[in-house]
């Protein structure tokens, strides 16, 4: 009579509590799934940019190597002309005096080469420093994400233990709520499995996104560095050509006297 009615009311209250817990599980599940989709969307949007940046970088590296080879050829031609100038100037005092500008030209070339090497070394040091700082930043982000994930897992474990306690209490109630209990248990297990799967996927996706962003920033800096070197090489080649033209005029002057 009254005892059975009290048990039914208690079972109904317990069932309502469990339904509220399941609602909380469902909300957490939807949130985690949305986070995963956002991370995947970020990765998919960044991949084309990364591929395009990689292509530009490869093209710039090819141009850089071509300019280096051209500079080497120009330097070689200049050295050969300087040797010819010194050979033809032997035995002639006046010609030796006129050949003096060639020595100044060689000093200028050496100074330009030293300046170029200093710029390359400076750029290399800046890139290495930037890379190390980014790696430290990414490591800190990964550590922070790991702590947040651990806290989330602890909360889920507490909710699971609480649910199990409610389940034991529910099983002691009258048979009218037995079928509902079974349905609730199946729903809880399904949500827990889906929630664990999504949480297992979010971590690697966040790490991949951080890695792609870091790589894009690194390649962007390298691209800017190579573009700067390419511009400087073009300027140096123009200076080499101008100096070579001056050297050729000196040679013609020597040959004509």
pTM listed for this prediction:
0.34
Instruction: Give, for all 257 residues of the chain, the pLDDT tens digit.
Output: 566 667 667 777 877 777 787 788 778 777 777 777 776 776 677 677 667 666 766 776 687 677 778 777 777 876 777 777 667 655 444 444 344 445 665 666 667 667 766 766 776 677 667 756 766 765 566 566 556 656 656 766 676 676 676 666 656 655 665 666 677 778 778 888 988 888 888 888 888 888 888 988 888 888 899 898 889 988 988 888 888 888 777 777 767 76
Residue 139: both structure tokens together: 């490591």
pLDDT on residue 97: 39
Largest CA distance in the chain: 135
List for the chain the helix, strand, coil content (%; round to 5). Answer: 95, 0, 5
pLDDT on residue 137: 67
pLDDT on residue 139: 58
Residue 242: both structure tokens together: 């101008």
Show the 3-state SS of 67-126. HHHHHHHHHHHHHHHHHHHHHHHCCCHHHHHHCHHHHHHHHHHHHHHHHHHHHHHHHHHH
pLDDT on residue 31: 79
Residue 29: both structure tokens together: 């599940």
pLDDT on residue 100: 44
């Amino acid at each position: 009579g009254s005892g059975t009615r009290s048990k039914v009311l208690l079972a109904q209250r317990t069932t309502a509590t469990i339904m509220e817990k399941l609602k909380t599980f469902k909300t957490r599940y939807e949130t985690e799934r949305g986070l995963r989709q956002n991370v995947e969307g970020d990765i998919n949007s960044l991949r084309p940019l990364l591929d395009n940046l990689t292509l530009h970088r490869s093209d710039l590296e090819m141009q850089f190597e071509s300019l280096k080879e051209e500079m080497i050829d120009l330097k070689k031609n200049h050295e050969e002309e300087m040797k010819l100038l010194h050979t033809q100037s032997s035995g002639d005092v006046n010609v030796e005096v006129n050949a003096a500008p060639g020595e100044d030209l060689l000093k200028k070339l050496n100074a330009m080469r030293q300046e170029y090497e200093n710029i390359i070394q400076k750029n290399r040091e800046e890139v290495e420093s930037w890379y190390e700082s980014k790696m430290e930043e990414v490591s800190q982000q990964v550590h922070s994400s790991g702590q947040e994930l651990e806290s989330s897992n602890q909360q889920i474990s507490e909710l699971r233990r609480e649910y199990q306690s409610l389940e034991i209490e529910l099983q002691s109630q009258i048979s009218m709520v037995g079928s509902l209990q079974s349905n609730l248990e199946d729903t809880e297990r399904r949500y827990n499995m889906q929630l664990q799967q999504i949480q297992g996927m979010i971590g690697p996706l966040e790490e991949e996104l951080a890695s792609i962003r870091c790589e894009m920033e690194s390649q962007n800096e390298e691209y800017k560095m190579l573009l700067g070197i390419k511009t400087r090489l073009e300027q140096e080649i123009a200076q080499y050509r101008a100096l070579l033209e001056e050297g050729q005029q000196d040679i013609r002057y020597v040959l004509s006297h």
